Amino acid sequence: MRAAMPPINTKNMSTPLEEESELRRGPWTLEEDTLLTHYIARHGEGRWNMLAKCAGLKRTGKSCRLRWLNYLKPDIKRGNLTPQEQLLILELHSKWGNRWSKIAQHLPGRTDNEIKNYWRTRVQKQARQLNIESNSQRFLDAVRCFWMPRLVQKVEQASPSSSSSSSSSYLKEMCTQSSVPSQLSSCCTVPSFPTASPLANKTTDISNSSSVTTQNICPTDSINNISDQTEIPQHLTGSNVYGHTTLDQCYNIDSNDYGMEGISFASMSGVGFYEGTPSEGNWMCNEMSDDLWNMDDIWQLRSI
């Protein structure tokens, strides 16, 4: 956690109007944090504009609210997102799109800002590296076929105490820990990767691989059944999500092609998804910095 610093940058320079009203901007100081925290402890949150004045803060109500919700609130969780949380974000984003606050409601202690930042810095980075739009169906497919199984795997690895070998039990646990309803618990089993060492033939067209057993990963119904009192726009759900086919399709990891039917190398090649040899920087083999979605990692899984 970065310590709050006094405003020193130009962004914090007050305009004449702001000087007149003495409104402060930029990073919060410890003193301001204390003022806000103590005031809310005594009077509760809400009515932010009034709160800002009454607490003696030279901040807008909006600024106070943001500071409280994203930083000072006692139940804010700090540190990296767990694989469970990442998985949940990917799932819920595929369902709801950029509804950050809505997604955050299912990740206790995490803020919409944090999730939004995660998406922008981690997820969209992968999209950039794959040279595809982060909201495209291709990217969605890639997320489901590679990243999510990887996360499920991580969840499994992180929970060795569980007696069940099925990822669904871990996800049940995950759903129990978070506020996600248990409907999600029926989803997500991991594809069993072949045991042959993958690293020797990274350039092999994996659509030719044949020894993967079929298992389902996160049926859409499970996600769709997440309790949701509000209407979900049609374009964000099911068959119309991102203007494409149903979410279910890619969840079926086919025994012959890793569930790659929607993300085949042939279909990728047309958009630069897979072109040339590993040394040419194609998406399979370039050095992705994010170990959560590194094809080397994915290949290594096959030898587990």
Collapse the DSSP code of 57 into the 3-class scheme (helix H, G, I; strand E, B; otherwise coil) and give the result.
Answer: coil
For 226, phi and psi rounded to 5 degrees? -55, 130
- Those residues whose C-beta lies under 8 Å from the C-beta of residue 154, and which sit 6 or more positions away, are 83, 292
For the bound state, the minimum distance from the C-beta of residue 269 to DNA, rounded and expressed in Å, comes to 25
For 32, phi and psi rounded to 5 degrees? -65, -45
For 163, phi and psi rounded to 5 degrees? -80, -25
d(CA 229, CA 63): 29
d(CA 190, CA 188): 6
Which C-beta is closer to DNA: that of 3 or that of 200? 3
d(CA 231, CA 126): 30
Q: Residue 167: how many CA atoms within 13 Å on its side-chain side?
A: 25
Question: Which residues of the shown chain bind DNA in the complex (CB under 7 A)?
Answer: 1-2, 4-5, 8-11, 24-28, 46-51, 59, 61-63, 65-67, 70-71, 98-102, 112-114, 116-118, 120-122, 125, 289-290
For the bound state, the minimum distance from the C-beta of residue 291 to DNA, rounded and expressed in Å, comes to 10
Which C-beta is closer to DNA: that of 114 or that of 141? 114
For the bound state, the minimum distance from the C-beta of residue 284 to DNA, rounded and expressed in Å, comes to 18
For the bound state, the minimum distance from the C-beta of residue 288 to DNA, rounded and expressed in Å, comes to 9
For 126, phi and psi rounded to 5 degrees? -60, -40
Which C-beta is closer to DNA: that of 90 or that of 212? 90
Which C-beta is closer to DNA: that of 54 or that of 304? 54
Which C-beta is closer to DNA: that of 63 or that of 294? 63
- Those residues whose C-beta lies under 8 Å from the C-beta of residue 6, and which sit 6 or more positions away, are 27, 29
Which C-beta is closer to DNA: that of 117 or that of 210? 117
For the bound state, the minimum distance from the C-beta of residue 9 to DNA, rounded and expressed in Å, comes to 3
For the bound state, the minimum distance from the C-beta of residue 77 to DNA, rounded and expressed in Å, comes to 11
